[in-house]
Amino acid sequence: MASIIFDAALSAREDSERRISYSRRKAFYSAVGRYNGTDYGYETVVPAIDALVEAGLLIEHNKMRGGPSGTGVQSSFRPAPGLAEIVLPKPDYRVGELIRLKDMNGTLVSYRDTERTSRDRRFLEAVNRHIADVDIRLGHINGVKMDENRGAIFFPGFLQWMDEGFGDHTVYTRMNELYRVYNGNWTQGGRFYGGWWQQVRGCDRQHLLIDGAATIELDYQMLHPRLLYAFAGQKLAGDAYTLDGWDRKVCKRAFNILLNASNYPQAVGAILPHVDNNRRLAVALIAEMKRRHAPVASSFHSGAGLRLQNVDAEMLKWVLRHLTLRDGITVLPIHDSFIVEKKYQLVLASAMDEALARATVCVGD
């Protein structure tokens, strides 16, 4: 109950009208026991929320019982206005299970531990211990508000997962534990998530400090196109995202959509918003992209993106193992980029090159 009040109070400070969703289905809690522990169950969460609503600390918005197939609407509540005035202790965030498996619908599913998952978990625990001992903070940025006591940074006017768009966003700097998420099986996905720096826009990450030192971010250029060509035994020539007569930004999005879509109709539908919802343009762009990338066109709208994510995640793991665990260098991973103190720029670049070379050889084989 205390954690529910704590989360509600945090939400009240940021946006008292924001709804917090939860499930009233027993099946939901039994399916994700590995990830939430024994304190997070139907018998504890649902009665606690009902009691807090009755006490006036929470305001119920929807209470959906839900059938076996779900209702499409999730139960939710919002905090009572008075919760914003509660003096909160410093939050201590723990992500719980470090190795996560989702089905192809994005739902967390349980699994049986193997030597591989145990080894993967031990690796993450070691990396997280290193990161926990490091002071990671964001330097001054005009308009950005920082609350040291709460460990919070408030970014007005944009969404954390986009480099454009609008919407206020709060990042909690004590959320620094990394975990991995696999999709469908252990050869798809596996990317690293959880670090608060991943929720900061690329243009603002340049202000990150590691133990007070300025940092630099290095990324792989056109990583997935290069890996895709290597898998086909080919070498990518030129810019993968340049097509005559098309905006490069639209082409880059289209390429990534084609990699991640499971089928052709899904690819067309995902591209539509980027071509003014003009189906003819979406179809033409896909055809042009296939002509440009004929050697690898068979991988388009086949779900290849998740397999390539697994490759780039293993590359990231290799860099962390050699720089952080072996050499003691703090490396903050994004997905296809890394942040280090500026003095380690050349060391990082060398490690990234070696990781790519090793992955390319493995993929090529």
| pLDDT surpasses 90 at 41 | no
pTM: 0.83
> Average pLDDT for residues 162-168, to the nearest whole number?
54
Q: What is the CA radius of gyration of the chain?
A: 22
Average pLDDT, the chain: 88
Q: Domain residues of the chain, as ranges?
A: 2-65, 99-221+306-364
% residues pLDDT > 70 (the chain): 88
Token digits for 220? 């792989």
pLDDT class of 217 with cuts at 50, 70, 90: very high
CB burial of residue 266 (10 Å; 0-12, 13-18, 19+):
middle
pLDDT tens-digit readout, 286-326 = 999 999 999 999 999 999 999 999 999 999 999 999 999 99
pLDDT tens-digit readout, 95-119 = 889 999 999 888 899 899 999 999 9
Task: Give the pLDDT score at 29.
Answer: 73
In this structure, of 48-62, 81-95, 209-223, the range with the lowest mean pLDDT score is 81-95
CB contact at 8 A, 271 and 252: no
| pLDDT surpasses 60 at 64 | no
Task: Give the pLDDT score at 365.
Answer: 39
pLDDT tens-digit readout, 333-360 = 998 999 999 999 999 999 999 999 999 8
pLDDT class of 363 with cuts at 50, 70, 90: very low
Beta-carbon contacts of 128 under 8 Å, excluding residues fewer than 6 positions away, are: 98, 176, 177, 178
Residue-level length of the chain: 365
pLDDT class of 38 with cuts at 50, 70, 90: low
Amino acid at 116: R
The residue that leads in pLDDT, 18 or 80, is 80
